Structure 1
């Protein structure tokens, strides 16, 4: 791995066409350099031209540069752009691809025998470990356990340290912490005995090889002299450990990132390394890119407003985008009675836009969870609009949906037996009963896979609620089959349907952000955890900044057609919608006006204020004795149900109850976080505690 000696003639255009801030980042002397690059500010252009500048100025040869990105697509784009400037030979790879290449080279010297094979999918090994310790081994549970092991390894958490760490961070886990830790430990033993490595092992072994073998580290550091890391806000502790091993005592490092776009902390990512870069390298050059070349000033203004209310942002790292594109239309906001109406209106608008000349490929519909895609798939199909689903399977292709459809067909055949009386219950109730054994519960399941499964099954119940009373179970099963047949992936590129996570790094002329209600964005399981709420806010920010010219925001007050309109539009939209906007007036006319403080009467902003029904700076009138009784009851209930206490009620919800002392179910469900399921499960106990406290008082 000797260092290359060739020189490179770099295209002079690599240093042209830059704004002042981009030029400062490109021409900064050798690292450390930190580029805080907002959405649409030309970070890829800046990265490629900085590398070209370093090569062209003789600071480093192309083969001595290692540029790390987070996707193979981004790495390929980086190499293509560099070649256009006459800079070939730069190693642009993902962390895992770079580590795999290095490990293969150094393995004979470090380990001494034949290289271990790369594990092709970890579910089988996780299943063996789970079976051995008595954990669930169905496909959904194994996916959740595998994801939890990936998070732990990315966070540098050992099986022994797992229970204490998840308790410390109050992580939502798929099974008891000790059981997950046992599966994790068993999984590592299965791999070791079979001489297998998973993707996280590539990083762990690469770091260990450089940390413990001086001659290996010396050869590597002689080869690679300059490092560039893109999307630095999404680096995990494990990836940072590898980067530190690559660097050694050197500091020729350029990092690029935006803390406002940190949306993967659930997978172990942390913006801490980006935010603390100047502390680690006090002499670092820090450049801020804030001129947004992607979006109109109107879209940029909306993005700034969304993120301006974020809490906990570190001073000096906050970016406020500056729109430099020609003006465009103001963002549109719309409220609908229910989700089908919202989807039909969006589909009709898209159809009109396409007829007026907007390419279908330049339009996207973005949502928080994949289960929301089904109603838009159907609406676009009915409108004759071609579409593609990105970052996830189409609704009817999901395993849980196929399994549910099979169960419904079986139940329909049994119900059609002439020896049995017709079921008089509403269709939705019958469907719900059929799907309970397949994971449909009153509350979302723990873990990502479980939650996605729950959302898909709940969407089927919602569809049953929308159908006319004439539909029985047999007709419903036939309806599902018809819709599945009509929803085959289109053969032409069309409108993009994607989750907000899958939309990261992409952009379109027109973006529809749909389904923006509390409980979906922010997602229900984020309640009670400010850090999770803030990540949900950043997701919305990412969604807004995907739009170049047209941004449409919408929400529905009910899920099913004709359902109770009990939803609230997302708290993140307060202040974003102009007071004189029709959507604001519609909300007010339906009792959806901005809630006001019960103490001073001011409009309420933020989740905590909405829950307490008072401003954060207004005096609390909490009943301390009642709060103690509620916490004692919660502790006993959680122990009895074998769940963490916050699953019953969060501290914020208990405090709201102790402040507002609801006298009936109406007062109880008026507190955010207490829906129909929790009212049925806990309402009687809570109201009894409140009543007992009032009598005692």
Structure 2
């Protein structure tokens, strides 16, 4: 049996919780994973590089410890950083026969304990738990006489969060922020005032943020020997994943859980430390063996995720580090286990629109070659870079989803759908599951339609509901006997673990949001100085964190890896940008790049001027329309409506979102310019060669006065 993408053979075990023989649990682990799994007594430190199967190793270790009688299931607490990771861990443990092991985030574990002991340890009405500080920070800033926009409020909230996880009180903030070398979002004295006002308001309103929740849980354990004894009797066997991301507050809570015991296993990768700006420190991981000199130390370096070509890039990125703070024994160099794949691609562009357009075309080609859209990602340093790729993918007819927006199960349309589905499941009379789900989702109060509506927000809502409908079809395909109640149970489990159904679209995500994920093909874009490393990374430590962020991006790719950068922001702009320093030693020698650049200059994006006032157009929406957004425009409203009606019919027939045919902006531009030939139509932004061949004659017929019915009937007559 060959390895899977998790770093070894598929798990074996009994879904019902009955264990196979202990040695069977360890079958298929590689030598290092086997060493980790057999080290059932703590302390244990596992350094696990990207794609080396760390989750596989630690879940098999837990299952093996339970199966051999080292620890009962109920006394294990596995801690990780996201509900998604915790859910994945619980799923694997169920498959290995250990379904009662508790796998939770720090916050979920603390909240459960605090809620249970609230009456005894604290008393009074339970506070309201808030997952966002923005509203309270806004009120605190207003009370201090400051007016801040939403971006400034987010920065203030982040700064307060950093202070709280590093256990800095408002009175000490000014001194601490100077010592830490941080640049606060406003003068440090003002941040301290807002921080103090925030804490006062939080107390007055009986609000509990995540940091205070950890603090109260820790204080409860320290101040009540009876509660401490009860918690420590319940949990005596600890596993902590992503230990490089632990902050001081989380470490103090972990120490409170442990007491004077040392049955703890920590897992992490110092090369993936990318949250020090939020208070995380890899020091707890790299210093673990100094704290526990008798600890077992295991290194996982066999990379089962990526091809040798991708692994070579990852290792080279880290060799270029100027930092020598990581001890030699904690430096990991990955060893590829997969067969050879394509060489990474490095591309320089004259401007950002050219970069986005080319990336979209290459993605379309990958999809045509058989790579599923959901297995492709475009990763960038900041969320502001997303818009250009949304536009370019839309123009190329490629569906996409933006990661990092509202959590799937928190979206209003999904919550409404779940409520209705749960009610229907109670009276399920055995009707076919797929048809029932689709019928419910198409109810007016839910709103799923046959085709995607116009407008980004409406389209995102439609895609969410369509993903639910597709999930029902997937489940029915795997389990034809599944009922509506089974579907609702699956949704409940997914909601608890933030395991959203997959969108059949390319993923757009920031590098931070991509951590923990992987795709067959990854496009790392915008790799210029000032963007990666980001312009405000000034100290050597900050630059090295940016290097680690680049490393995280590289190691998300299984097979196809593309890296690109643009020399100018806009067509015709000065090409003054420089490729990221992290590309040094990676990209081909300059002559080949120069040859590529010469070829691209012949194909460079043309300067587009407003057809009304003659101004050079820079923004994508203006270039598409061929005019400034505030310049007057006359267009045939009836033509635009005919185009929209035709697009709706085509998208329904082809079972794709309407924007994949043509975006709203492209239809608007066609209606304004009324092309009378394929050559004129091809000059409109968003009408590439593929769309010209597929839809060109139909669009020209509509522009000449034809109706959608005439165009569509002609298409049907030509269809064999």
User: What is the TM-score with the length of structure 2 in the denominator?
Assistant: 0.66
Cα drift, residue 196 of structure 1? 2.3
Q: Which of 27, 38, 58 is matched with 2:49 structurally?
A: 38
Report the counterpart of residue 334 of structure 2 in structure 1.
321
Specify whether residues 138 and 331 from structure 1 end up closer, same or farther in structure 2 by C-alpha distance, changes over 3 A only.
Answer: closer
> Is the 8 Å Cα contact of residues 54 and 267 (structure 2) preserved in structure 1?
yes
Report the counterpart of residue 76 of structure 2 in structure 1.
65
**Deviation sequence 1:409-432 (CA, Å, 0-9, x none):** xxxxxxxxxxxxxxxxxxxxxxxx
> Is the 8 Å Cα contact of residues 381 and 487 (structure 1) preserved in structure 2?
no
In the alignment, structure 1 residue 86 sits paired with structure 2 residue 97: yes
Report the counterpart of residue 633 of structure 1 in structure 2.
none
CA distance in 1, matches of 2:98, 2:64: 10
Report the counterpart of residue 282 of structure 2 in structure 1.
271
> Is the 8 Å Cα contact of residues 38 and 64 (structure 2) preserved in structure 1?
yes
Report the counterpart of residue 365 of structure 1 in structure 2.
378
> Is the 8 Å Cα contact of residues 332 and 552 (structure 1) preserved in structure 2?
yes
Report the counterpart of residue 570 of structure 2 in structure 1.
560
CA distance in 1, matches of 2:403, 2:535: 23
In the alignment, structure 1 residue 382 sits paired with structure 2 residue 395: yes
Specify whether residues 137 and 370 from structure 1 end up closer, same or farther in structure 2 by C-alpha distance, changes over 3 A only.
Answer: closer
> Is the 8 Å Cα contact of residues 388 and 490 (structure 1) preserved in structure 2?
no
> Is the 8 Å Cα contact of residues 367 and 498 (structure 1) preserved in structure 2?
yes
> Is the 8 Å Cα contact of residues 48 and 300 (structure 2) preserved in structure 1?
yes
Cα drift, residue 254 of structure 1? 0.4
Specify whether residues 577 and 186 from structure 1 end up closer, same or farther in structure 2 by C-alpha distance, changes over 3 A only.
Answer: same
**Deviation sequence 1:476-535 (CA, Å, 0-9, x none):** xxxxxx996998677352111111111100001111111101010001111x31111001
Q: Secondary structure at the match of 2:513?
A: coil
> Is the 8 Å Cα contact of residues 40 and 70 (structure 2) preserved in structure 1?
no
Alignment map for 1:454-493 (pairs within 5 Å): 491=463, 493=504
CA distance in 1, matches of 2:594, 2:266: 42
Cα drift, residue 10 of structure 1? 4.8
CA distance in 2, matches of 1:81, 1:74: 11
Report the counterpart of residue 350 of structure 2 in structure 1.
337
Report the counterpart of residue 299 of structure 2 in structure 1.
288
Report the counterpart of residue 243 of structure 1 in structure 2.
254
Q: Secondary structure at the match of 1:66?
A: strand
Specify whether residues 255 and 350 from structure 1 end up closer, same or farther in structure 2 by C-alpha distance, changes over 3 A only.
Answer: same
Cα drift, residue 129 of structure 1? 2.0
> Is the 8 Å Cα contact of residues 35 and 254 (structure 1) preserved in structure 2?
yes
Specify whether residues 588 and 383 from structure 1 end up closer, same or farther in structure 2 by C-alpha distance, changes over 3 A only.
Answer: closer
CA distance in 1, matches of 2:130, 2:381: 31
Q: Which of 243, 249, 253 is matched with 2:264 structurally?
A: 253
Cα drift, residue 198 of structure 1? 1.1
Corresponding residue pairs, total: 497
Cα drift, residue 121 of structure 1? 3.5
Q: Secondary structure at the match of 1:227?
A: strand
Report the counterpart of residue 549 of structure 1 in structure 2.
559
Q: Would you identify which runs of 4 or more consecutive aligned residues in structure 1 move more than 4 Å?
A: 482-490, 584-590
> Is the 8 Å Cα contact of residues 389 and 498 (structure 1) preserved in structure 2?
yes
CA RMSD of aligned residues (A): 2.3
CA distance in 2, matches of 1:324, 1:552: 21
Structure 2: tracts of 5 or more residues without a match: 1-16, 408-453, 464-502, 601-720
Cα drift, residue 169 of structure 1? 1.5
In the alignment, structure 1 residue 144 sits paired with structure 2 residue 146: no
**Deviation sequence 1:614-656 (CA, Å, 0-9, x none):** xxxxxxxxxxxxxxxxxxxxxxxxxxxxxxxxxxxxxxxxxxx
Q: Which of 121, 130, 140 is matched with 1:129 structurally?
A: 140
In the alignment, structure 1 residue 578 sits paired with structure 2 residue 591: no
Alignment map for 1:409-448 (pairs within 5 Å): none
Specify whether residues 54 and 584 from structure 1 end up closer, same or farther in structure 2 by C-alpha distance, changes over 3 A only.
Answer: farther
Cα drift, residue 236 of structure 1? 0.6
Cα drift, residue 55 of structure 1? 0.6
**Deviation sequence 1:176-231 (CA, Å, 0-9, x none):** 11111111111111122222211111100111111121111111111101000000
CA distance in 1, matches of 2:563, 2:248: 36
CA distance in 1, matches of 2:462, 2:365: 20
Specify whether residues 356 and 91 from structure 1 end up closer, same or farther in structure 2 by C-alpha distance, changes over 3 A only.
Answer: same
**Deviation sequence 1:355-375 (CA, Å, 0-9, x none):** 111111111111111111111
> Is the 8 Å Cα contact of residues 10 and 87 (structure 1) preserved in structure 2?
no
CA distance in 2, matches of 1:518, 1:306: 15
